[in-house]
Amino acid sequence: MVVRYDPDKDETKWVLTNINTALDCFQRGDVKLTKKTKASLQLSNGIVMQRKGGTPDPTSLQFKIKPLLIFDCIKQSKKDQ
């Protein structure tokens, strides 16, 4: 479940979707190096993989997602139907 508040409209929207829809959403896009750092890969439009900082272990990775992209994916899938 993802919740988004729009202060301009004083409106709260939410979406609850199954895991397959969420995975399909976040896997879209290309793999590319980011410009910020050499130890980061953008795996898709919504997932970034980078070396975890603050630990001496250089093999530790972390994955960051942009959960609000699920709203765009749901809107796009409704257009496609």
What pLDDT, in 10s, does the model give residues 11-40? 999 988 888 888 888 777 777 776 665 566
CB 71 within 8 A of CB 15: yes
End-to-end Cα, the chain, rounded Å: 22
In order, the DSSP letters of 11-76 are EEEEE---HHHHHHHHT-S--EE-SS-TTEEE-SSSEEEEEPTTSS-TT-EEEEE-TTHHHHHHHH
Does residue 8 surpass a pLDDT of 60? yes
What percentage of the chain reaches a pLDDT higher than 90? 9
pTM value?
A: 0.58
